[in-house]
Amino acid sequence: MTFLVTRWQPFALIALTAASLAAVTACSSGAAVTSGASATASGAGGAGGAMATTGATTATGPGGNGTGGAASTSSSSAGVGGSVPAPARELGAYLGASCTCSQGKTQAEQALPGFSTWLGTTVDLGEDFLPAGTSWTDWAAPGWNLTGWKAWKAADAKHRLLLGPALGPTTDLAAGAAGMFDDDWKLLGQRLADAGLTDTVFRLAHEFSGNWYWYTPQGRESQFIGYWKHIVAALRSVPGQKFQFFWNPALGVSAQDGQPFHAEDAYPGDDVVDFIGPDIYDSDWGAYPTSGPITQAMNDAAWKTLSTGDHGLDWYAAFAAQHGKPVAIGEWGVWAVGDHHGGGDDPAFIQRMHDWIGAHDVAFHVYFEVKAGDGDHQLWPTTAFPQSAALFQQLF
Protein backbone atom coordinates (compact mmCIF):
# COMPACT_ATOMS: atom_id res chain seq x y z
CA MET A 1 0.00 0.00 0.00
CA THR A 2 1.30 3.44 -0.90
CA PHE A 3 0.58 6.70 0.86
CA LEU A 4 1.15 10.23 -0.38
CA VAL A 5 2.48 12.68 2.15
CA THR A 6 2.36 16.17 0.74
CA ARG A 7 4.06 17.82 3.68
CA TRP A 8 6.16 15.79 6.11
CA GLN A 9 7.37 18.51 8.45
CA PRO A 10 9.49 18.20 11.58
CA PHE A 11 6.29 17.98 13.68
CA ALA A 12 7.29 16.20 16.87
CA LEU A 13 10.56 15.21 15.36
CA ILE A 14 12.05 18.60 15.93
CA ALA A 15 11.07 19.35 19.40
CA LEU A 16 11.71 16.50 21.76
CA THR A 17 15.38 16.22 21.42
CA ALA A 18 15.85 19.45 23.27
CA ALA A 19 13.66 18.06 26.01
CA SER A 20 15.75 14.92 26.08
CA LEU A 21 18.96 16.91 26.18
CA ALA A 22 17.67 19.06 29.00
CA ALA A 23 16.63 15.97 30.91
CA VAL A 24 20.04 14.43 30.41
CA THR A 25 21.99 17.41 31.68
CA ALA A 26 19.79 18.81 34.40
CA CYS A 27 17.87 17.61 37.41
CA SER A 28 14.23 17.92 36.36
CA SER A 29 11.08 17.80 38.39
CA GLY A 30 10.38 14.09 38.14
CA ALA A 31 11.76 10.62 37.65
CA ALA A 32 11.77 8.09 34.92
CA VAL A 33 9.01 5.60 35.09
CA THR A 34 7.33 2.91 33.11
CA SER A 35 4.90 0.19 33.95
CA GLY A 36 3.66 -1.48 30.87
CA ALA A 37 3.66 0.86 27.92
CA SER A 38 5.87 3.55 26.48
CA ALA A 39 7.02 6.68 24.71
CA THR A 40 8.08 8.71 21.72
CA ALA A 41 10.91 10.59 20.12
CA SER A 42 10.80 13.40 17.79
CA GLY A 43 13.97 15.29 18.24
CA ALA A 44 14.82 18.92 18.43
CA GLY A 45 16.77 21.30 16.31
CA GLY A 46 19.18 21.93 19.16
CA ALA A 47 22.17 19.90 18.07
CA GLY A 48 22.05 19.87 14.36
CA GLY A 49 19.44 22.34 13.28
CA ALA A 50 15.92 21.87 12.07
CA MET A 51 14.88 18.83 10.17
CA ALA A 52 14.74 19.30 6.44
CA THR A 53 12.04 17.71 4.33
CA THR A 54 11.74 16.75 0.72
CA GLY A 55 8.46 18.01 -0.63
CA ALA A 56 5.92 15.41 -1.61
CA THR A 57 7.02 12.00 -0.40
CA THR A 58 5.68 8.61 -1.37
CA ALA A 59 5.66 6.39 1.68
CA THR A 60 5.46 2.62 1.55
CA GLY A 61 6.27 -0.23 3.84
CA PRO A 62 9.89 -1.01 4.71
CA GLY A 63 11.95 -2.25 1.86
CA GLY A 64 14.91 0.10 1.73
CA ASN A 65 14.77 3.85 1.22
CA GLY A 66 11.00 3.93 1.15
CA THR A 67 10.45 1.32 -1.52
CA GLY A 68 9.11 -2.20 -1.32
CA GLY A 69 7.50 -3.97 1.57
CA ALA A 70 3.99 -3.54 2.83
CA ALA A 71 2.96 -0.91 5.31
CA SER A 72 0.52 -1.85 8.01
CA THR A 73 -2.59 0.19 8.44
CA SER A 74 -4.00 2.01 11.44
CA SER A 75 -7.21 3.69 12.41
CA SER A 76 -6.66 7.36 11.71
CA SER A 77 -10.13 8.41 12.80
CA ALA A 78 -10.49 6.62 16.11
CA GLY A 79 -12.14 8.93 18.60
CA VAL A 80 -12.25 9.06 22.36
CA GLY A 81 -13.93 6.06 23.92
CA GLY A 82 -12.98 3.50 21.26
CA SER A 83 -13.71 -0.19 21.74
CA VAL A 84 -10.14 -1.49 21.55
CA PRO A 85 -9.38 -3.23 24.87
CA ALA A 86 -6.60 -2.07 27.14
CA PRO A 87 -3.30 -3.34 25.73
CA ALA A 88 -1.27 -5.81 27.77
CA ARG A 89 1.89 -3.82 27.14
CA GLU A 90 4.58 -2.58 29.49
CA LEU A 91 3.96 1.09 30.23
CA GLY A 92 6.74 3.50 30.97
CA ALA A 93 7.07 7.18 31.81
CA TYR A 94 10.16 9.36 31.93
CA LEU A 95 9.75 11.92 34.71
CA GLY A 96 13.15 13.60 34.78
CA ALA A 97 16.85 13.13 35.31
CA SER A 98 17.93 10.56 37.88
CA CYS A 99 20.18 12.86 39.84
CA THR A 100 20.44 13.31 43.59
CA CYS A 101 17.82 15.80 44.75
CA SER A 102 16.10 16.87 47.95
CA GLN A 103 16.72 14.92 51.14
CA GLY A 104 19.38 12.81 49.45
CA LYS A 105 16.86 10.94 47.32
CA THR A 106 16.94 10.50 43.57
CA GLN A 107 14.22 11.72 41.27
CA ALA A 108 13.31 8.11 40.58
CA GLU A 109 12.77 7.41 44.26
CA GLN A 110 10.63 10.52 44.68
CA ALA A 111 8.46 10.44 41.58
CA LEU A 112 7.98 6.77 40.75
CA PRO A 113 5.72 6.00 43.71
CA GLY A 114 3.61 9.10 43.19
CA PHE A 115 3.12 8.53 39.50
CA SER A 116 2.20 4.88 40.12
CA THR A 117 -0.36 5.87 42.73
CA TRP A 118 -1.93 8.43 40.40
CA LEU A 119 -2.02 5.96 37.54
CA GLY A 120 -3.37 3.15 39.67
CA THR A 121 -0.94 0.56 38.33
CA THR A 122 2.47 -0.81 39.20
CA VAL A 123 5.35 0.91 37.48
CA ASP A 124 7.94 -1.65 36.41
CA LEU A 125 10.02 0.12 33.75
CA GLY A 126 12.04 3.24 34.51
CA GLU A 127 13.74 5.34 31.84
CA ASP A 128 16.90 7.38 32.29
CA PHE A 129 19.73 8.93 30.29
CA LEU A 130 23.49 9.23 30.65
CA PRO A 131 25.04 12.68 30.17
CA ALA A 132 27.25 12.91 27.09
CA GLY A 133 29.16 16.04 28.11
CA THR A 134 31.58 14.34 30.48
CA SER A 135 34.70 12.15 30.50
CA TRP A 136 34.60 8.43 29.87
CA THR A 137 35.64 7.87 33.49
CA ASP A 138 32.74 9.88 34.88
CA TRP A 139 30.33 8.43 32.33
CA ALA A 140 31.10 4.75 32.82
CA ALA A 141 32.40 4.54 36.37
CA PRO A 142 32.12 6.52 39.61
CA GLY A 143 30.59 9.69 38.18
CA TRP A 144 27.12 8.33 37.48
CA ASN A 145 24.76 7.88 40.41
CA LEU A 146 23.17 4.42 40.38
CA THR A 147 22.00 4.56 43.97
CA GLY A 148 18.35 5.27 43.22
CA TRP A 149 18.00 2.65 40.51
CA LYS A 150 19.79 0.04 42.60
CA ALA A 151 17.36 0.56 45.48
CA TRP A 152 14.38 0.64 43.13
CA LYS A 153 15.42 -2.65 41.52
CA ALA A 154 16.05 -4.27 44.90
CA ALA A 155 12.53 -3.36 46.00
CA ASP A 156 10.95 -5.44 43.22
CA ALA A 157 12.69 -7.84 40.83
CA LYS A 158 10.16 -6.95 38.12
CA HIS A 159 11.52 -3.42 37.96
CA ARG A 160 13.66 -2.78 34.88
CA LEU A 161 15.77 0.12 33.66
CA LEU A 162 15.54 1.53 30.13
CA LEU A 163 18.79 3.43 29.66
CA GLY A 164 19.64 5.98 26.99
CA PRO A 165 23.44 6.33 27.00
CA ALA A 166 23.58 7.99 23.55
CA LEU A 167 26.84 6.51 22.18
CA GLY A 168 28.99 7.63 25.06
CA PRO A 169 30.92 10.89 25.54
CA THR A 170 32.53 10.82 22.10
CA THR A 171 31.92 12.25 18.65
CA ASP A 172 34.07 9.67 16.87
CA LEU A 173 32.05 6.89 15.30
CA ALA A 174 35.12 5.54 13.50
CA ALA A 175 36.99 5.08 16.76
CA GLY A 176 33.99 3.29 18.24
CA ALA A 177 33.77 1.03 15.21
CA ALA A 178 37.46 0.19 15.72
CA GLY A 179 36.74 -0.97 19.29
CA MET A 180 38.52 1.88 21.07
CA PHE A 181 35.73 2.28 23.64
CA ASP A 182 34.93 -1.38 24.27
CA ASP A 183 36.44 -1.37 27.77
CA ASP A 184 34.39 1.67 28.77
CA TRP A 185 31.16 0.02 27.70
CA LYS A 186 32.10 -3.17 29.50
CA LEU A 187 32.80 -1.13 32.65
CA LEU A 188 29.37 0.49 32.40
CA GLY A 189 27.78 -2.92 31.98
CA GLN A 190 29.66 -4.26 34.98
CA ARG A 191 28.51 -1.34 37.14
CA LEU A 192 24.92 -2.00 36.13
CA ALA A 193 25.31 -5.69 36.90
CA ASP A 194 26.86 -4.90 40.29
CA ALA A 195 23.78 -2.79 41.05
CA GLY A 196 21.52 -5.72 40.19
CA LEU A 197 20.42 -4.12 36.90
CA THR A 198 21.39 -7.08 34.73
CA ASP A 199 18.20 -6.87 32.65
CA THR A 200 18.69 -3.24 31.56
CA VAL A 201 17.41 -2.35 28.10
CA PHE A 202 19.86 -0.12 26.23
CA ARG A 203 18.28 2.58 24.08
CA LEU A 204 21.43 3.28 22.08
CA ALA A 205 21.69 6.47 20.00
CA HIS A 206 18.05 7.40 20.46
CA GLU A 207 16.54 9.37 17.56
CA PHE A 208 19.68 8.76 15.53
CA SER A 209 17.93 9.22 12.19
CA GLY A 210 17.20 12.85 12.96
CA ASN A 211 19.72 15.57 12.22
CA TRP A 212 20.01 17.06 15.69
CA TYR A 213 22.43 14.68 17.46
CA TRP A 214 26.11 14.31 16.63
CA TYR A 215 25.75 10.58 16.04
CA THR A 216 23.51 10.80 12.97
CA PRO A 217 24.76 8.00 10.69
CA GLN A 218 24.09 9.80 7.41
CA GLY A 219 27.16 9.37 5.19
CA ARG A 220 28.87 7.09 7.71
CA GLU A 221 26.41 4.25 8.11
CA SER A 222 29.09 1.54 8.24
CA GLN A 223 30.83 3.29 11.14
CA PHE A 224 27.57 3.60 13.06
CA ILE A 225 26.77 -0.07 12.51
CA GLY A 226 30.28 -1.14 13.44
CA TYR A 227 30.25 0.90 16.64
CA TRP A 228 26.81 -0.49 17.57
CA LYS A 229 28.08 -4.04 17.18
CA HIS A 230 31.14 -3.33 19.32
CA ILE A 231 28.93 -1.86 22.06
CA VAL A 232 26.66 -4.89 22.09
CA ALA A 233 29.59 -7.31 22.13
CA ALA A 234 31.24 -5.44 25.01
CA LEU A 235 28.06 -5.37 27.10
CA ARG A 236 27.28 -9.01 26.39
CA SER A 237 30.71 -9.97 27.72
CA VAL A 238 29.67 -8.93 31.25
CA PRO A 239 29.10 -12.06 33.40
CA GLY A 240 25.48 -12.64 34.34
CA GLN A 241 24.07 -9.97 32.04
CA LYS A 242 20.68 -10.23 30.35
CA PHE A 243 20.92 -6.91 28.53
CA GLN A 244 18.66 -6.09 25.57
CA PHE A 245 19.03 -3.49 22.83
CA PHE A 246 16.48 -1.05 21.41
CA TRP A 247 16.95 0.39 17.89
CA ASN A 248 15.14 3.72 18.27
CA PRO A 249 15.12 6.08 15.25
CA ALA A 250 13.17 9.31 15.01
CA LEU A 251 9.75 9.32 13.42
CA GLY A 252 9.66 10.51 9.80
CA VAL A 253 12.49 11.25 7.39
CA SER A 254 14.98 14.04 8.07
CA ALA A 255 17.73 15.36 5.82
CA GLN A 256 21.13 16.96 5.84
CA ASP A 257 22.34 19.16 3.01
CA GLY A 258 19.12 18.44 1.18
CA GLN A 259 19.65 14.67 1.20
CA PRO A 260 17.04 12.55 3.00
CA PHE A 261 18.25 9.87 5.36
CA HIS A 262 16.39 6.61 5.87
CA ALA A 263 16.81 4.88 9.21
CA GLU A 264 16.92 1.38 7.72
CA ASP A 265 20.27 2.21 6.08
CA ALA A 266 21.76 2.12 9.59
CA TYR A 267 20.10 -1.06 10.82
CA PRO A 268 22.87 -3.07 12.53
CA GLY A 269 21.32 -6.53 12.20
CA ASP A 270 18.81 -8.82 13.86
CA ASP A 271 21.51 -10.43 16.01
CA VAL A 272 22.21 -7.16 17.85
CA VAL A 273 18.69 -5.71 18.10
CA ASP A 274 15.83 -6.81 20.38
CA PHE A 275 13.27 -4.01 19.91
CA ILE A 276 12.47 -1.64 17.03
CA GLY A 277 10.47 1.57 17.10
CA PRO A 278 10.39 5.38 17.00
CA ASP A 279 9.43 8.19 19.36
CA ILE A 280 6.19 10.06 18.66
CA TYR A 281 4.55 13.25 19.88
CA ASP A 282 1.30 14.99 19.03
CA SER A 283 3.17 17.63 17.04
CA ASP A 284 2.86 18.27 13.31
CA TRP A 285 4.13 21.34 11.48
CA GLY A 286 1.78 20.69 8.61
CA ALA A 287 -1.43 20.27 10.61
CA TYR A 288 -1.09 22.45 13.70
CA PRO A 289 -0.66 26.25 13.96
CA THR A 290 1.54 27.94 16.58
CA SER A 291 -1.42 29.67 18.22
CA GLY A 292 -5.18 29.78 18.23
CA PRO A 293 -7.74 27.03 18.67
CA ILE A 294 -7.03 23.47 17.58
CA THR A 295 -9.83 21.76 15.67
CA GLN A 296 -10.71 18.07 15.40
CA ALA A 297 -9.83 18.26 11.70
CA MET A 298 -6.31 19.33 12.66
CA ASN A 299 -6.04 16.47 15.15
CA ASP A 300 -7.18 14.02 12.47
CA ALA A 301 -4.71 15.35 9.89
CA ALA A 302 -1.82 15.20 12.35
CA TRP A 303 -2.60 11.61 13.35
CA LYS A 304 -2.80 10.54 9.74
CA THR A 305 0.70 11.88 9.12
CA LEU A 306 2.14 10.47 12.34
CA SER A 307 0.68 7.02 11.84
CA THR A 308 0.61 6.44 8.06
CA GLY A 309 3.20 8.92 6.76
CA ASP A 310 6.65 8.07 5.48
CA HIS A 311 8.49 6.26 8.30
CA GLY A 312 5.51 6.79 10.58
CA LEU A 313 4.18 4.38 13.19
CA ASP A 314 2.75 1.94 10.67
CA TRP A 315 5.97 1.86 8.66
CA TYR A 316 8.01 0.97 11.76
CA ALA A 317 5.52 -1.70 12.80
CA ALA A 318 5.90 -3.32 9.38
CA PHE A 319 9.70 -3.02 9.50
CA ALA A 320 9.80 -4.60 12.96
CA ALA A 321 7.57 -7.48 11.83
CA GLN A 322 9.77 -7.97 8.78
CA HIS A 323 12.72 -8.52 11.12
CA GLY A 324 10.83 -10.62 13.66
CA LYS A 325 11.11 -8.00 16.41
CA PRO A 326 8.51 -6.46 18.72
CA VAL A 327 7.85 -2.73 18.55
CA ALA A 328 8.90 -0.36 21.34
CA ILE A 329 8.25 3.36 21.70
CA GLY A 330 10.96 5.23 23.59
CA GLU A 331 9.01 8.45 24.12
CA TRP A 332 5.50 9.67 23.41
CA GLY A 333 3.23 12.40 24.62
CA VAL A 334 0.86 15.28 24.01
CA TRP A 335 2.44 18.64 23.14
CA ALA A 336 1.37 22.14 24.13
CA VAL A 337 0.23 24.54 21.43
CA GLY A 338 3.11 26.82 20.47
CA ASP A 339 6.28 27.12 18.43
CA HIS A 340 6.60 23.35 18.03
CA HIS A 341 3.13 23.00 16.51
CA GLY A 342 1.62 20.83 19.23
CA GLY A 343 -1.95 19.61 19.40
CA GLY A 344 -2.62 20.84 22.93
CA ASP A 345 -5.07 19.03 25.16
CA ASP A 346 -5.88 16.23 22.72
CA PRO A 347 -7.58 13.22 24.33
CA ALA A 348 -8.12 11.79 20.84
CA PHE A 349 -4.34 11.41 20.55
CA ILE A 350 -4.26 9.49 23.85
CA GLN A 351 -7.07 7.24 22.63
CA ARG A 352 -5.42 6.67 19.28
CA MET A 353 -2.08 5.80 20.85
CA HIS A 354 -3.83 3.39 23.20
CA ASP A 355 -5.64 1.74 20.32
CA TRP A 356 -2.57 1.61 18.08
CA ILE A 357 -0.48 0.04 20.84
CA GLY A 358 -3.20 -2.52 21.50
CA ALA A 359 -3.46 -3.45 17.83
CA HIS A 360 0.28 -4.02 17.30
CA ASP A 361 3.06 -6.16 18.73
CA VAL A 362 4.33 -3.56 21.19
CA ALA A 363 6.63 -4.74 23.98
CA PHE A 364 6.74 -1.45 25.88
CA HIS A 365 6.06 2.26 25.47
CA VAL A 366 7.23 5.23 27.55
CA TYR A 367 5.25 8.39 28.22
CA PHE A 368 7.55 11.46 28.36
CA GLU A 369 6.13 12.85 31.59
CA VAL A 370 7.96 16.19 31.81
CA LYS A 371 7.35 19.90 31.37
CA ALA A 372 10.44 20.71 29.34
CA GLY A 373 11.72 24.06 28.20
CA ASP A 374 10.79 23.42 24.58
CA GLY A 375 7.50 21.66 25.19
CA ASP A 376 5.04 20.67 27.88
CA HIS A 377 3.87 17.04 27.99
CA GLN A 378 3.18 16.66 31.71
CA LEU A 379 0.01 14.92 32.86
CA TRP A 380 0.83 14.64 36.58
CA PRO A 381 0.83 16.00 39.30
CA THR A 382 -0.33 19.24 37.65
CA THR A 383 -1.21 19.54 34.01
CA ALA A 384 -2.27 21.87 31.23
CA PHE A 385 -3.99 18.88 29.58
CA PRO A 386 -6.83 17.85 31.94
CA GLN A 387 -8.84 15.91 29.36
CA SER A 388 -5.79 14.03 28.10
CA ALA A 389 -4.65 13.30 31.64
CA ALA A 390 -8.04 11.92 32.67
CA LEU A 391 -8.23 9.63 29.67
CA PHE A 392 -4.61 8.47 30.05
CA GLN A 393 -5.31 7.60 33.67
CA GLN A 394 -8.42 5.68 32.62
CA LEU A 395 -6.87 3.78 29.71
CA PHE A 396 -3.43 2.93 31.03
Question: Domains of the chain by range and CATH?
Answer: 19-75+87-130+141-288+296-395 (3.20.20.80)
**In the prediction, which pLDDT does 60 show?**
40
Q: Would you say residue 137 has pLDDT above 80?
A: yes
**In the prediction, which pLDDT does 146 show?**
83
Q: Would you say residue 380 has pLDDT above 50?
A: yes
Q: Would you say residue 98 has pLDDT above 80?
A: no
- Find the range with the poorest average confidence among 138-142, 143-147, 340-344, 383-387: 143-147
Helix axes 347-359, 296-308, angle to 10 degrees: 30
**In the prediction, which pLDDT does 157 show?**
92
- CA distances (Å), origin 235, targets 149, 200, 232, 257, 355: 19, 11, 5, 35, 35
- Find the range with the poorest average confidence among 66-70, 82-86, 154-158: 66-70
**In the prediction, which pLDDT does 17 show?**
36
In the chain, how long is the greatest CA-to-CA distance? 56
Which residue, among 140, 146, 139, 141, has the nearest Cα to 109 in the 3D structure? Answer: 146
The answer to whether 331 and 373 are in contact (CB under 8 A) is no
pLDDT band at 290 (very low <50, low <70, confident <90, very high): very high
Q: Would you say residue 121 has pLDDT above 70?
A: yes
Tens-digit pLDDT profile for residues 318-375: 999 999 999 999 999 999 999 889 999 999 999 999 999 999 999 999 999 998 888 8
**Quick one: average pLDDT of 33-42?**
36
